[in-house]
Structure 1
Amino acid sequence: MRLLTYTRNDAPIRLGAQVDDCVIDLAALAAHTGVELPGDLLSFIQADAPAREAARRLLLSDPATWPDEAVHQLDEVSLRAPLRPGKIIGVGLNYVEHVEESSRSLDTDKELPPRPVLFSKPATAVTGPGQPILHNGDLTAQLDWECELAVVIGRTARRVSEEDAYAYVFGYSIVNDISARDQRRSGQWFFSKGQDSYAPFGPAVVTADEVPDPMSLDLSLRVNGVTKQKSNTRHMLFPIARLIADISSGVTLEPGDVIATGSPSGVGAGMVPPEFLTPGDTVEATVEGIGTLTNPVTDAR
């Protein structure tokens, strides 16, 4: 399933499933058939397999029986961030070429990290498709981009083995790991990466059953239509299963948590000369099978 969080005519946000060019309100469709389903994605994830199975059965039913209030054209709705995660765990230096790029331009270690490099972003950093990335010139002159595959956790994960890791994945999305490169503080990344709007997220969450090999997905990023990043998830230094095992060895992952799995090379700080985002720019992050997450850059002041 391709799951969206959307609003229509400024109504409260709803959970929908995209079917071709339509968005199907799952809770409304369920109510029409006497079934109950959550109206938001986080609750849907927390409801686990019974909710997913019920939704799939509903979507396989005859569309002619679907009520009008449950079916909307995609171009008639406004997409929002899929959910507000309890935790966003970022992974730094997870593509070999980005390790070299960062050592040259950001003074990080030139050696490959022996374990995943982890940091966090607060939920307040999340913004949705089409929503602005805020450029505050009082705080940064080095606003940068990073296209990343996002892993959405579906079950409570504590001390999970690599062999069992994928059983805890609900689905996949996109995070653009926005960074103020000049706001790293004594090697700490929280303020550099955690400011408001620094976690564009979406446009959808695709359930794990529809992504047969998440370690073989093309990803790319464009600024004003010009390609800056282009790679494939197969080039991750630490694959998804290793990340889940490593994180859950000491931090409990909960349903709806998001792991941003790292950026390939091609970030603005690594360009010669360096390039950074400014108000008026448009950033498009694309991951194969998930879609394109587009955000404008606007002046925050």
Structure 2
Amino acid sequence: MRLCRYLFNDRSYVGFYNDESVLPLLAAAVIAEVKVPESNLLTDYLPGGPHRNAIVGLQHKLADIDAAKIEGVSLSVSDIQLQVPVEAPGKLLLLAGNYSKHIEEGGGKAEERARTFPYVFMKPPATTLTNPGDSVKIPAVSPDQIDWELELAIVIGRECKGVSEADALNYVAGYTVINDISDRAFHPNPERNDRPKDGFFDWLHGKWHDTFCPMGPAILPADELADPQTLKMKLTVNDTVEQDASTAEMVFPVAAIIEFISSFVTLSPGDVISTGTPDGVGKAKGKFLKAGDQMEAWIEGIGSLRNPVV
């Protein structure tokens, strides 16, 4: 069962997410007559967390409880504020160019995995992470080419360093959806003298604007997904399909990404890695986000991450 964080009566809680409703974790424990330790950290209830066994036991009990009883203690999504599933990840890492068709639509040449390596960059989590339903803000400093990027994100469950690809999935707590919003035309100081690395930093800084990383709506626990490379994914803007792909199309699959990053960086519980976007971005079509647009980023088994643009 998917887990989410949500705000209700000015307090954050953890619950089971079911698209249109949320079953509060503590209410579920009461009706199932199961003791579940209370924590505001959703990762405590995921694989690798101290309370995972309690959650698995609770889920087994809930399977035998009348649906009407569960519905009676559930909350409508419209009556709560969904929050980013991981409140303050120590690291928010993202991949560039991990789908061949996306590389090609940008005018590049896709290389075979054996002849390249994952390109990894970071976003500041405190200012880019954006709750489901909250607005993505077009920056006044560079408003004209703001783009969407649907991505599968990995949440790390156990500390790992130097893990093998064969063992890497054992360190995953779960999976969520990220929309890696990107400014395709950030060009600080138009009167500047160009330097050799200006283009790279324009690209990098274009990832860092406030609100540019919506995440959610929930986390699918890793022990409930045998293979993360089997998920359909779709992004719409104003109900028009812009991206329609599968995680099977990644150049570097989830396990290989973890192996690569952990070879030189220690990954800690709660760290988030976003695995790159498939083809269908606005830049390739000359289409960009504007105030009033509505985005919906969906990944099979996880749910829909919806954000308006202002």
The aligned runs of 1:20-169 (5 Å cut-off) are 22-27=21-26, 29-30=28-29, 33-45=34-46, 48-61=48-61, 63=65, 71-84=74-87, 85-102=89-106, 104=107, 109-112=108-111, 114-123=116-125, 124-169=127-172
TM superposition shift of 1:140:
3.0
2:301 aligns with 289
Structure 2 unpaired stretches of 5+: 188-197
TM superposition shift of 1:37:
3.1
What is the rounded CA distance, in whole Å, between the counterparts of 1:208 and 1:53 in structure 2? Answer: 14
Which residue type is aligned with residue 38 of structure 2? L
What is the rounded CA distance, in whole Å, between the counterparts of 2:55 and 2:13 in structure 1? Answer: 14
What is the rounded CA distance, in whole Å, between the counterparts of 2:134 and 2:103 in structure 1? Answer: 30
Contact 1:30-1:36 within 8 A present in 2 as well: no
Identity rate, percent:
40
The aligned runs of 1:165-204 (5 Å cut-off) are 165-183=168-186, 185-188=198-201, 189-204=203-218
SS in 2 for 1:247: helix
Contact 1:130-1:294 within 8 A present in 2 as well: yes
Residue 179 to residue 99, structure 1, CA distance change in 2 (3 Å):
same
> C-alpha deviations, 1:57-103, integer Å up to 9, x for none?
12332547x8999643444322111123221111111011111112x
Residue 140 to residue 4, structure 1, CA distance change in 2 (3 Å):
same
Contact 1:121-1:190 within 8 A present in 2 as well: no
TM superposition shift of 1:278:
0.7
What is the rounded CA distance, in whole Å, between the counterparts of 2:29 and 2:302 in structure 1? Answer: 25
Which residue type is aligned with residue 150 of structure 1? A
> C-alpha deviations, 1:90-125, integer Å up to 9, x for none?
1111011111112x2xxxx53527000111111121
TM superposition shift of 1:35:
4.1
Contact 2:36-2:51 within 8 A present in 1 as well: no
Residue 190 to residue 23, structure 1, CA distance change in 2 (3 Å):
same
Instruction: Report whether the alignment pairs 1:257 with 2:271.
Output: yes
The aligned runs of 1:215-254 (5 Å cut-off) are 215-254=229-268
What is the rounded CA distance, in whole Å, between the counterparts of 1:18 and 1:97 in structure 2? Answer: 32
Question: TM-score, with normalisation over the residues of structure 1?
Answer: 0.88
Residue 219 to residue 34, structure 1, CA distance change in 2 (3 Å):
closer
Residue 249 to residue 293, structure 1, CA distance change in 2 (3 Å):
same
Contact 2:238-2:295 within 8 A present in 1 as well: yes
SS in 1 for 2:252: coil
SS in 1 for 2:229: coil
Contact 2:36-2:55 within 8 A present in 1 as well: no
Residue 68 to residue 149, structure 1, CA distance change in 2 (3 Å):
closer
TM superposition shift of 1:210:
2.0
What is the rounded CA distance, in whole Å, between the counterparts of 1:20 and 1:198 in structure 2? Answer: 23
| Number of equivalent positions | 289
Residue 237 to residue 25, structure 1, CA distance change in 2 (3 Å):
same
SS in 1 for 2:278: coil
When the two chains are superposed, the root-mean-square deviation of aligned CA atoms in Å is 2.5
> C-alpha deviations, 1:230-276, integer Å up to 9, x for none?
111111111111100001011111111111111111111111xx111
Contact 1:280-1:296 within 8 A present in 2 as well: yes
Which residue type is aligned with residue 5 of structure 2? T
SS in 1 for 2:228: coil
SS in 2 for 1:190: helix
What is the rounded CA distance, in whole Å, between the counterparts of 1:259 and 1:56 in structure 2? Answer: 25
Contact 1:30-1:37 within 8 A present in 2 as well: no
Structure 1 unpaired stretches of 5+: none
What is the rounded CA distance, in whole Å, between the counterparts of 1:156 and 1:148 in structure 2? Answer: 23
2:195 aligns with none
TM superposition shift of 1:197:
0.8
SS in 2 for 1:118: strand
Which residue type is aligned with residue 154 of structure 1? G
